[in-house]
Structure 1
C-alpha cells in the first residue's frame, strides 16, 4: 500500500510527463503547419504561419522547463504553463479556420488540457 505522499508524487510525475509529451507533440504539429504556409502570403496565411511558429517555440520551451533540471521555482513553472496554455488555445482558434489544420488545432487543445491538468496537480 502506498502512502498519500507517494501517490501525490506519482501523480505529479505522471502529469508532468504527460504535459511535456503533449507540448512536444504540439510543437511538432505547429512547426509542420507553419512550414506548409508560404511566407509573404495573404494576411490570414501570415497569421497562421506566425501562430504556428510561436506555438512551436512556446511548447518547445515549456517541454524543456518540464523535462530538464532547471532553476525555475514553482511560480516560474506556473507562469510557463499558463503562457503555453494561452498560446495553444489562441493558435487552435486560428487553425480552426484553415482547411487541413484540424489535427494541429487538436494537438494545441490537447496541450492546453495537459497544461491545465498539471497546473491543477501543482495545486
Structure 2
C-alpha cells in the first residue's frame, strides 16, 4: 500500500513549514549579530540599519514561533505573518547590500524571504 496523495501533500507541507521556520531562525540570528556589530552612536544611516536589523530579527523570531505552534491556526493570520516577514527581510537585505561586510546577513534575509514565499505558495 503506497502513500496517498494527501499524505504526500501533508509531508511536503510540513517540510516547507520546517524549512521556513529554519530560515527564519537563521535570519533572526544573522540580523541580531549584524545589529550588535553596529555602533548605536554611529551615523544616522548606521542607526537605521541597526534598528532594521533588530526589527527583522524580532519579526523572524515571531514568525518562527507562529510556524512552530501545532494547534489550529487561523490561515489568514499565518499568511499575514509570512507576508510581513518576507517584506521586512527584503527591506533589511536591501539595507545590508549597502553595508560593508554584510553579505552573509543579506543572504540570510533573502533566503528567509524566499522560504516565506515558498511556504505561502504551499498554503494554496
Indicate the residue corresponding to 2:93 in structure 1. Answer: 92
Indicate the residue corresponding to 1:55 in structure 2. Answer: 56
Q: Distance in 2 between matches of 1:32 and 1:52?
A: 9
Indicate the residue corresponding to 2:66 in structure 1. Answer: 65
Indicate the residue corresponding to 2:19 in structure 1. Answer: 18
* Closer/same/farther in 2, CA of residues 3 and 70 from structure 1, 3 Å limit: closer
Indicate the residue corresponding to 1:35 in structure 2. Answer: 36
What is the Cα deviation at residue 70 of structure 1?
5.2
What is the Cα deviation at residue 71 of structure 1?
5.8
Q: Gaps spanning 5+ residues in structure 1: where?
A: none
Give TM-score, length-normalised by structure 2. 0.96
Q: Distance in 1 between matches of 2:80 and 2:69?
A: 17
What is the Cα deviation at residue 2 of structure 1?
1.3
Indicate the residue corresponding to 1:76 in structure 2. Answer: 77
What is the Cα deviation at residue 68 of structure 1?
2.2
Secondary structure of 2:38's counterpart equals coil
Indicate the residue corresponding to 2:112 in structure 1. Answer: 111
| Residues 1:9 and 2:10 are matched in the alignment | yes
Q: Distance in 2 between matches of 1:69 and 1:32?
A: 29
Cα distance per residue 1:74-117 (max 9 Å; x no partner): 01000000000000000000000101100000000000000000
Q: Gaps spanning 5+ residues in structure 2: where?
A: none
Q: Compute the RMSD of aligned alpha carbons.
A: 1.0
